[in-house]
Structure 1
Amino acid sequence: MSFLWAIIAGLIIGLLAKLVLPGRQPIPLWLTILLGVIGGLLGNGLASALDVSDTNGVDWIRHALQIGAAAVLIALVTPAWGRRRA
């Protein structure tokens, strides 16, 4: 069940990261999900390294770090994907 939640969270994080980036990112949905999952894991690791505490509510700083990490990954992968497709 946690695998399914990772996919759902990766989709949401990846789509939000694409919204943050300027312009169009012509990468497929499966790559958006994959980069969202990886960005979520990197964001969690960064939040732990920065000693961001867990709260009973929404962890806005942790989510911002996850989306930021996914946005960086998408920004790095999109040009390579475009060259691959051309």
Structure 2
Amino acid sequence: MGFIAFIVLGLIAGLIARAILPGKQTGSILMTILLGILGALLGGWLGSVLFSQPLEEFFSIETWLLAIGGSIIVLGIYGALRGRNGHRA
């Protein structure tokens, strides 16, 4: 998958993960996009380690599920570190 496609995947996965996570999100949209890209990287790495399924094809359901799952993990960790009111915990 190309670099631009990977950024678009991370952007969309981050926005979907933000919509899935409960409660008010304290980060900006830019932070969500950056964390979504990081989450897509994490999801791709976890997919290759656990399931032998790396992020290869942009239109594959497995790719999207791995990217969204990784984004949920990263956004959850970020939210826990920032705390509920936007201040560091």
Task: State the TM-score, normalizing by the size of structure 1.
Answer: 0.75
Question: Percent identity among equivalent residues?
Answer: 34
Residue 45 (str. 1) matches residue 49 (str. 2): no
Does the 8 Å CA contact 1:40/1:69 hold for their aligned counterparts? yes
SS at the partner of 1:83?
coil
CA distance in 1, matches of 2:58, 2:14: 22
Structure 2 match to 1:29: 29
Does the 8 Å CA contact 2:9/2:67 hold for their aligned counterparts? no
CA distance in 1, matches of 2:60, 2:18: 20
**After the TM superposition, which residues 3-82 of structure 1 pair with which residues of structure 2 at under 5 Å, given as runs?**
3-49=3-49, 50-52=51-53, 58-81=59-82, 82=86
Structure 2 match to 1:83: 87
Does the 8 Å CA contact 2:10/2:67 hold for their aligned counterparts? no
Task: State the TM-score, normalizing by the size of structure 2.
Answer: 0.73
> What is the aligned-residue RMSD (CA, Å)?
2.6
Structure 1: runs of 5+ lacking an equivalent:
none
